[in-house]
């Protein structure tokens, strides 16, 4: 199979820089969510089957269930509207990719989900953000951010050992610091789930900052996983990484989706096609189109989506 590596979506490159999307979908073997495999009762509130079955990394069925949703969410910086009336669900059991050209509001939408946006004084939000049927505003913000973890473009491990990085959130949690013996199995488990254990098991006291970029990013995933998040937000997590690290992180993301709802912002359409079950295309703050990855890439409904996934702009 021939899959071109990351092509820049921005800049002056001709449309031919981006391979035709039909080819990507076929070759990446993206498995669209099959609605209706579960023969349970339909949910009248949503007008569709409440339970869906997706597919895991081995093609095994994965339970899909709502964790978060936004309702008519708008965010403005001063009088500039960055996110406009976005309603979207975030489900465990699937990877949701937010795609769209630079500046269209992907990061703003992502950062709103764990209330990082409110650290920007000019940002104003309207609309609702729900985590497990409760408004995110009702949560203690530290608790919210451990349930809804976030990773950024640049890995940001703390200047301490591998072990202490992963244990950090657990130690911060209670008033009494847990003993190392109690933390150890949780740290090992988080490193295993983040796909880093085999590379670091011989020396957990090694400084985190001495790891490679790809290892640091997986360490940050492990640090998030250690506090048992329900949702993981990834903002272009591979854009600073080499192709091999990128591929390891992509595998890790697909492995994790059965336990954690994953939302990934990526400028890389091939990456979205490889790992996403559902894709949401944003343009100038609008949620133009969202749907199963195979549909958005293979048969986009909106012209703006067609133009973007066909490489027409971005």
**274 is a site residue for ligand ADP (CB under 6 A):** no
Q: Which is nearer to Mg ion, 107 or 114 (CB)?
A: 107
48: exposed, middle or buried (Cβ count in 10 Å: 0-12, 13-18, 19+): exposed
Task: Give the nearest distance from C-beta 105 to ligand ADP in angstroms.
Answer: 4
Q: Which is nearer to Mg ion, 269 or 292 (CB)?
A: 269
Task: Give the tokens for residue 220.
Answer: 């940050």
3-state secondary structure of 91: strand
Which one, of 212, 223, 196, 67, lies nearest residue 130 by Cα? Answer: 67
Q: Which is nearer to ligand ADP, 64 or 129 (CB)?
A: 129
Part in contact with ligand ADP (CB under 6 A); list of ranges 89-97, 105-113, 173-181, 238-246: 105-113
# of chain residues touching ligand ADP (CB under 6 A): 13
Phi, psi of 7 (to 5 degrees): -105, 140
Are 168 and 223 contacting, i.e. CB atoms less than 8 angstroms apart? yes
Q: List Cβ<8 Å contacts ≥24 apart for 123-126.
A: 123/75, 123/76, 123/77, 124/75, 124/76, 124/77, 125/73, 125/74, 125/75, 126/72, 126/73, 126/74
Q: How far apart are CA 276 and CA 294, in angstroms?
A: 9
Q: Which is nearer to ligand ADP, 126 or 203 (CB)?
A: 126
Quick one: what does residue 314 bind among Mg ion, ligand ADP, none, with the CB cut-off 5 to 8 Å set by partner type? none
Which of 24, 33, 73, 82 binds ligand ADP (CB under 6 A)? It is 82
**25 is a site residue for ligand ADP (CB under 6 A):** no
**126 is a site residue for ligand ADP (CB under 6 A):** no
Are 273 and 28 contacting, i.e. CB atoms less than 8 angstroms apart? yes
3-state secondary structure of 66: strand
End-to-end CA distance of the chain: 26
Q: Which is nearer to ligand ADP, 164 or 236 (CB)?
A: 236
Q: How far is CA 168 from the centre of its chain?
A: 22
Task: Give the tokens for residue 15.
Answer: 């449309």
Quick one: what does residue 1 bind among ligand ADP, Mg ion, none, with the CB cut-off 5 to 8 Å set by partner type? none
Part in contact with ligand ADP (CB under 6 A); list of ranges 23-31, 95-103, 271-279, 287-295: 95-103
**105 is a site residue for ligand ADP (CB under 6 A):** yes
Which of 30, 70, 92, 107 binds ligand ADP (CB under 6 A)? It is 107
Part in contact with ligand ADP (CB under 6 A); list of ranges 74-82, 210-218, 272-280, 302-310: 74-82
Quick one: what does residue 108 bind among Mg ion, ligand ADP, none, with the CB cut-off 5 to 8 Å set by partner type? ligand ADP
Which one, of 265, 275, 224, 305, lies nearest residue 31 by Cα? Answer: 275
**218 is a site residue for ligand ADP (CB under 6 A):** no
User: Which residues lie near Mg ion (CB under 5 A)?
Assistant: 107
- Residues at the site binding ligand ADP, with contacts judged by CB under 6 A: 77, 80, 82, 100, 102-108, 120, 122
């Amino acid at each position: 199979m021939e899959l071109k590596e990351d092509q820049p979506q921005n800049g002056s490159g001709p449309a031919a820089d981006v391979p035709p999307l039909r080819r990507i979908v076929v070759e990446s073997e993206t498995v669209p969510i099959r609605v209706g495999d579960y023969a349970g009762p339909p949910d009248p509130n949503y007008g569709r089957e409440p339970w869906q079955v997706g597919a895991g990394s081995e093609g095994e069925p994965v339970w899909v269930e709502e964790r978060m949703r936004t309702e008519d969410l708008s965010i403005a910086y001063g009088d500039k509207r960055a996110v406009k009336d976005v309603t979207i669900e975030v489900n465990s059991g699937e990877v949701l990719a937010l795609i769209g050209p630079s500046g269209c509001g992907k990061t703003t939408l992502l950062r709103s989900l764990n209330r990082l946006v409110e650290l920007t004084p000019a940002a104003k939000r309207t609309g609702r953000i729900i985590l497990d049927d409760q408004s995110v505003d009702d949560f203690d913000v530290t608790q919210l951010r451990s349930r809804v973890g976030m990773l950024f473009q640049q890995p940001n491990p703390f200047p301490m050992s591998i072990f202490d990085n992963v244990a950090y959130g657990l130690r911060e949690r209670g008033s009494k610091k847990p003993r190392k013996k109690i933390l150890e199995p949780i740290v090992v488990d988080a490193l295993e789930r983040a796909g880093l254990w085999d590379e670091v098991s011989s020396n957990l006291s090694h400084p985190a900052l001495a790891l490679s970029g790809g290892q640091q990013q997986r360490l940050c995933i492990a640090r998030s996983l250690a506090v048992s998040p329900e949702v993981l937000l990834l903002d272009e997590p591979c854009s600073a990484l080499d192709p091999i690290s990128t591929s390891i992180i992509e595998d890790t993301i697909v492995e994790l989706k059965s336990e954690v709802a994953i939302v990934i912002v990526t400028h890389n359409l091939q990456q979205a096609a490889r790992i996403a079950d559902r894709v949401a295309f944003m343009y100038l703050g609008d949620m133009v189109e969202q749907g199963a990855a195979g549909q958005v890439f293979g048969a986009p409904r909106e012209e703006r989506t067609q133009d973007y996934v066909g490489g027409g702009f971005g």
